[in-house]
Amino acid sequence: MRIKWMKYKNGRVDTRDITQAVKSVSWSGSVSQAARAAEIAVVNAPNDKNIKNLKLNIGAGQIIKLYEDGELIFFGRVQNARKISETGTVAYTCYDLLNHLLKSTGVYNFSNTTAERITKKVCADLEIKTGSIAETKATIKKMIVDGDTFYDIIMKAYTKAAKQTGKKYICRMNGSKLSVEVKGKKVKNFVLAEECNITNTEYEETMENMVNAVKIYDEKGKQVGEVKNEQWVEKYGLFQQIYKKEKGINAQTAAKNMLQGIEKRVTLDGINGDTECIAGNGVKVYDKAVGLYGLFWIDGDAHTWENGTHTMNLELNFKNIMDRKEYEEPKE
């Protein structure tokens, strides 16, 4: 792991390697959090003659870059800094540039466009560079937003597109560029196994978000259809939601996609981590102790580098889920 600090001085960019001053690094993200975070603990012991004082003056808004095996895995800005006397460190909290999309709001009136065009438009307005933007070719006839975050605008557009394409999408920063990807990437050449790199696993089943019946209504409030999983209703009782028809969207398909059964969640701790094990990706797991075999989807991840060791904590899901943001027609 290498850590670099970029600062701007007199119109110039000065890049400095601060790895030797860093005690630990945590790098994390989740499907619902969107922006990835990095927590960097820098040694702060000015009175200890055995520790070289690098006289770092890292300020809010400055750029921090993380490299693993020579590859850039994080490019973000310092959000805040706090000194901790007990540990003799300064802790810097950083977020990647997706944070700009989460913290900025806009007003737009889109018509006869696509999710990919909407993404490029709002990113250009916010001066965020774009990389690979997933093509949907799904027409969005109308979408009016008033005060939504730029991230929500993008995900509302892709949620509408997902109802037509049947695919799931996720926003990610690749360096300083925003990418929108079809969710489903699998970690290659890496397996989590109890005899090798798993240190602890917890398994949970929950019906907290169950939906086993969806009634479909038209724009006049009249019920025009229903989707129901009879087996789930008989076994768990009725958990019902409604779906209001949208122009250009297949109502039966959209309602069916709302059905949600028993959720199975796994929290796993491992050593000798892999930086491809991040929220949105799939990873193979083999753990006889809790009966887990096969491909699981990462909902959340936290990687830590300390004392030469790379550990990680993963929140796993049996299903590949999307951070859906539903669009509601504004009331007249």
Phi and psi at residue 47, in whole multiples of 5°?
Answer: -95, -5
Give the pLDDT band of residue 246 (cuts 50, 70, 90). Answer: confident
Query: Please, which residues bridge with residue 95 across strands?
Result: 37, 77
Q: What class does CATH assign to 186-206+262-317? A: mainly beta
Strand (E) positions, 33-150?
A: 37-43, 63-68, 71-84, 89-96, 105-113, 129-133, 140-149
- From 290, 147, 269, select the one nearest 205 (Cα to Cα): 290
SS3 for 229?
Answer: coil
Whole-angstrom distance, CA of residue 157 vs CA of residue 138 = 10
Give the pLDDT band of residue 204 (cuts 50, 70, 90). Answer: confident
**Residue 218 gets which letter from DSSP?**
-
Give the pLDDT band of residue 325 (cuts 50, 70, 90). Answer: confident
Question: What pLDDT, in 10s, does the model give residues 149-193?
Answer: 999 999 999 999 998 898 999 999 999 999 999 998 999 999 999
Strand (E) positions, 277-322?
A: 282-287, 292-306, 309-317
What are the structure tokens assigned to 95, written together? Answer: 């977020």
pLDDT value of position 195: 86
Question: Degrees (nearest 5) of the Cα angle 4, 130, 146?
Answer: 115
pLDDT value of position 248: 77
pTM of the predicted structure, to 2 decimals? 0.82
Question: What pLDDT, in 10s, does the model give residues 274-293?
Answer: 999 999 999 999 998 888 88
Question: What pLDDT, in 10s, does the model give residues 66-87?
Answer: 999 999 999 999 999 888 766 6
The domain covering 100-182 belongs, at the CATH homologous superfamily level, to Baseplate protein-like domains (3.55.50.10)
Contact predicate 122/140, CB 8 Å: no
Give the pLDDT band of residue 45 (cuts 50, 70, 90). Answer: low
DSSP run (H or E) holding 214:
strand 213-217
Whether the per-residue pLDDT at 53 is higher than 70: the answer is no
Give the pLDDT band of residue 48 (cuts 50, 70, 90). Answer: low
Provide the mean pLDDT of the chain. Answer: 90
Q: What residues does each domain of the chain span? A: 2-95, 100-182, 186-206+262-317, 213-257
- From 26, 30, 36, select the one nearest 279 (Cα to Cα): 30
SS3 for 161?
Answer: helix
Whether the per-residue pLDDT at 331 is higher than 70: the answer is no
What are the structure tokens assigned to 256, written together? Answer: 């069916």
